[in-house]
């Protein structure tokens, strides 16, 4: 557990320090160290695995992270094509210009959520992740108008009905995933595709494409593992009889 906590601190601290904090570029190396370090230590025998369950959990989380990055990069290549001509005016039309930081944050987000869902257990873990996500989304939706009002910036009320509908639908999915795991998982998988489509980076349709790339990638990675956990859920005989 101590090693896992150190890994979390390295991943989050390294990424935030190198991006939001404006620190030196080498800080991002701490994120890679936090993701790969514990696995390397245990596989090399320097820090033995606690049991087979811990090893299986880490392996599964790593495969989920790999799956998420493959899906994201495949979507980018499908839209932008392989190769092409790099343009300084429109750099994001070239597939090779896709930000590496986005790929890294997708891997880290997917790994962490996969670990939590396995720790909490399939459907219950997916439900808890959805509740956490919707709690944060609801708090942001309530706080944004207040913060803008305090700062003296105008708030576009035209998008308020759409925001309310999205919040209500999100909470509906979170509350119903235990009763209807596979239908909810299918809807979440559609959301994953939508968010990764946003993350492909189209300057023609986005005012701030770099921000939307990060937002789409993070949300897609957040919902991917809960979607898989719900879709692959196998009910027990006593649940079917109930």
Question: How many Cβ atoms are within 10 Å of 28's Cβ, its own excluded?
Answer: 18
Alpha helices in 152-180 (DSSP H): 160-176
Residue 85 φ/ψ region, left for φ over 0, alpha for ψ in the -120 to 50 degree band, beta for the rest: beta
CA dihedral for 13, 18, 22, 26, sign (positive or negative)? positive
Pick from 20, 9, 126: nearest CA to 64: 126
Per-residue pLDDT of the chain (242 residues), as tens digits, is 677 788 888 888 877 777 776 677 777 888 888 888 888 888 888 888 888 888 888 888 888 888 888 888 887 777 666 655 545 455 455 555 567 777 888 888 888 888 888 888 888 889 999 999 889 889 988 887 788 778 777 776 666 777 788 889 889 989 998 888 989 999 888 888 888 777 665 544 445 556 667 777 888 888 888 888 888 776 544 444 44
Question: What pLDDT was estimated at residue 241?
Answer: 41
Alpha-carbon gap, residue 28 to 16, rounded angstroms: 8
Boundaries of every domain in the chain? 100-241
Query: Whose CA is closest to 125, among 221, 229, 234, 54?
Result: 229
For the record, the structure tokens of 124 come out as 């219950």
pLDDT score of 86: 46
What is the per-residue pLDDT for 236?
A: 45
Q: What local confidence, expressed as pLDDT, does residue 199 receive?
A: 67
Cβ burial of 61 (10 Å; 0-12, 13-18, 19+) is buried
Tell me if 217 sits within 8 A of 199, measured CB to CB. Answer: yes
List CB contacts of 31: < 8 A, sequence separation 6 or more.
10, 11, 14, 15, 18, 104, 108
221: which residues sit within 8 A by CB, 6+ positions away?
68, 72, 105, 106, 107, 109, 110, 113
**Residue 33 and residue 14 in contact, taking contact as beta carbons nearer than 8 Å:** yes
CA distance 9 to 129: 20
The reported pLDDT for the residue numbered 135 is 93
Nearest to 127 by CA among 233, 220, 226: 226
């Amino acid at each position: 557990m101590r090693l896992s906590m150190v890994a979390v601190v390295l991943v989050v601290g390294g990424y935030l320090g190198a991006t939001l904090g404006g620190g030196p570029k080498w800080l991002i190396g701490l994120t890679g160290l936090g993701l790969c370090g514990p696995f390397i230590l245990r596989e090399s025998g320097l820090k033995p695995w606690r049991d087979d369950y811990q090893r299986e959990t880490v392996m599964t989380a790593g495969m989920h992270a790999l799956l998420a990055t493959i899906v994201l990069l495949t979507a980018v290549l499908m839209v932008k094509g392989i190769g092409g001509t790099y343009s300084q005016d429109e750099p994001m039309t070239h597939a090779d210009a896709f930000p590496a930081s986005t790929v890294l944050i997708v891997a880290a987000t997917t790994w962490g959520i996969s670990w939590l869902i396995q720790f909490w257990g399939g459907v219950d873990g997916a439900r808890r992740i959805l509740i956490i996500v919707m709690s944060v989304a609801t708090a942001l939706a309530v706080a944004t108008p207040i913060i803008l009002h305090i700062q003296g910036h105008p708030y576009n009320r035209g998008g308020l009905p759409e925001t309310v509908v999205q919040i209500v639908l999100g909470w509906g999915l979170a509350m119903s995933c235990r009763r209807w795991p596979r239908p909810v998982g299918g809807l979440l998988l559609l959301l994953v595709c939508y968010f990764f489509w946003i993350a492909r980076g189209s300057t023609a349709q986005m005012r701030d494409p770099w921000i939307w790339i990060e937002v789409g990638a993070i949300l897609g990675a957040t919902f991917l593992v809960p979607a898989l956990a719900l879709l692959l859920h196998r009910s027990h005989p006593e649940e079917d009889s109930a």
